[in-house]
Amino acid sequence: MIQTNYLIIGSGVAGLTFALKIAARFPEKKITIVTKSNAEESNTKYAQGGIAIVTNKLEDSYEKHIQDTLICGDGLCDESVVRKVITEGPKRLQELINWGAQFDKNAQGHFDLGKEGGHSQNRVVHHKDQTGFEIERAILQQVYLQDNITVLDHHFAIDLIAENNHCFGAIILNQKDKTILHCYANYTLLATGGIGNVYGHTTNPVIATGDGIAMAYRIQANIKEMEFIQFHPTALFHNVLGTQFLISEAVRGFGAYLKTKNGYRFMQDYDERLELASRDIISQSIDLELKKSGESCVYLDCTHLDMTTFTAHFPTIFEHCKSIGIDITKDWIPVVPAQHYLCGGIQVDTHGKTSVQHLFACGESSRTGLHGANRLASNSLLEALVFSNTIFDYLSNLDEKDTLEPKTNLKSSIQKDRLPLIINSVLSQMKSELQLLMRSNAGIVRNNHDLKKAKHQLNSWLKELQDLEDNYQGNTAFFELKNMITIGILIVQHSLLRDQNHGGFFKIKKAKY
């Protein structure tokens, strides 16, 4: 058993920045971070593009960034949240710099600002094409300096401990020795990232299995807008399932062209912004082109660009392509859309509170109202920074009488040490079938017929897993699969309920291509 004041599940920018701030504010209190891989592994780490923040007020303004966000969200953003997040941006950026994060500057010593799809101005602060990696590095370095923060890596949160709509912590599997711990906390923060592995073809790391959302759903927290899933238009097509290498949006912002196999620049048929249209438009356009042509991918042409400048901006992309035989100076890059970001999730209020008392959520696992139907490029790290600070402000100013004393007498049915181990090959087969089902029936373009078929199959799989759980010891693969199926059910249910297309949600009557 573990007792802590603040339990943080997840080690991306959202969880880590909250941990740092609350640790400094309350040096006498205990903060515990639980992460199922090592602490460095998170969706944050894989964010190539950067953070969208207004820093050049001569050419840019808060209002321009606000309007770009609202347009991209297709009428479903909470404008008050949009204004709050964008106007706080510069303060949060300065905190990162104070913690040691470094961002690219131009010859004049100003931020070298990038431009991405949906933005009207250059405003993306970046560290080459590894911005997330740099932010994670800097914050983790600070976290390890704090005496009152404990990081439990290779620990998997199985379920939340809850009673009477109050959260008291979580049940955790130590993946090293297979023991199960009960971690009791005054406050619990879910910062568990995205859901990409539900689709298989994704830019997310393999740890992105929607665990926080699924756990919150099981204790009846409000979950909202799971139908709004962003597919990144340009993941490298490499004939391999799993985490896909991302060709950053900033490459199109730099001037790359999208072309068919025959060299036709097809975005002119879909949007006047061409390659700088928002991600939903480009992903849907590519999906339609591929269905019309029967081809496996489209291409990103960078051959006309200044390669000296290109390689300075995108060294990782250049080298990765080179390592698999693609010479960007003369070859086109094969690309396809891949699941990239979830705009919905655990519903939170303006303080980051969920509908369950003493449970908070932040980052991609939360639904704040910032993104609406479609996230504007590079707004995600900004949202995580602002809302982790919002939760910190709320909790640091809370009256002590509102503090929930941890309960340690709640019963759990998880401890099953004497049962036989579950067979991983069974789980692996079901996982592959799940991912194919989600790509085919709940992907970029959906229809009610396919969604209903998916719903029936997903519910059948969930029942099958529940039967297995009664007779076998669960392991990480089992609990992840259970969470992924739960996420699939939520996506399908919310997709069936939505009648109008907005942003990243596109549903049609069953079509023939």
Active site residues: 279
Cβ–Cβ < 8 Å for 48, 316: yes
DSSP state of 325: T
The gap from C-alpha 282 to its chain's centroid, in whole angstroms, comes to 19
DSSP 8-state symbol, 185:
E
Ramachandran assignment for 371, one of left (phi > 0), alpha (psi -120 to 50 degrees), beta (any other): alpha
Encode burial over 259-277: b for 16+ CB neighbours within 10 A, e otherwise: bbeeeeebbeebeeebbbb
Is residue 343 within 8 A of residue 203, CB to CB? The reply is no
Please spell the DSSP secondary structure of 101-116, one letter per residue. Answer: ----B-TTSSB--B--
Coil, strand or helix: which one is 353? strand
- The helix (H) or strand (E) run that includes residue 137 is helix 131-143
Find the helix or strand (DSSP H, E) in which 132 lies: helix 131-143
Kind plus residue range of the DSSP H or E element containing 366: strand 366-367
Q: C-alpha angle 136/93/348, rounded to 5°?
A: 80
Q: How far is CA 281 from the centre of its chain?
A: 20
Q: Where are the alpha helices (DSSP H) in 62-130?
A: 62-72, 79-98
Sheet containing 223-224: which strands, arranged edge to edge? 223-224, 345-347, 366-367
User: Angle at which helices 424-441 and 476-497 pack, to 10 degrees?
Assistant: 20
**Tokens (6 digits) for 490:** 């939520």
Q: Dump the DSSP string for 448-476.
A: HHHHHHHHHHHHHHHHHHHHHHHHSB--H
How far, in Å, CA of 408 to CA of 32, rounded? 17
Please give the sequence-ordered ranges of beta strands (E in DSSP) within 210-302, or none if there are none. Answer: 223-224, 229-236, 242-243, 257-259, 298-301
The secondary structure element, H or E, covering residue 479 is helix 476-497
- Rounded Cα–Cα distance for residues 337 and 216 (Å): 29
Structure tokens at 386: 């602002």
Helical (H) or strand (E) element with 248:
none
Burial class (CB in 10 A: 0-12, 13-18, 19+), 58: exposed
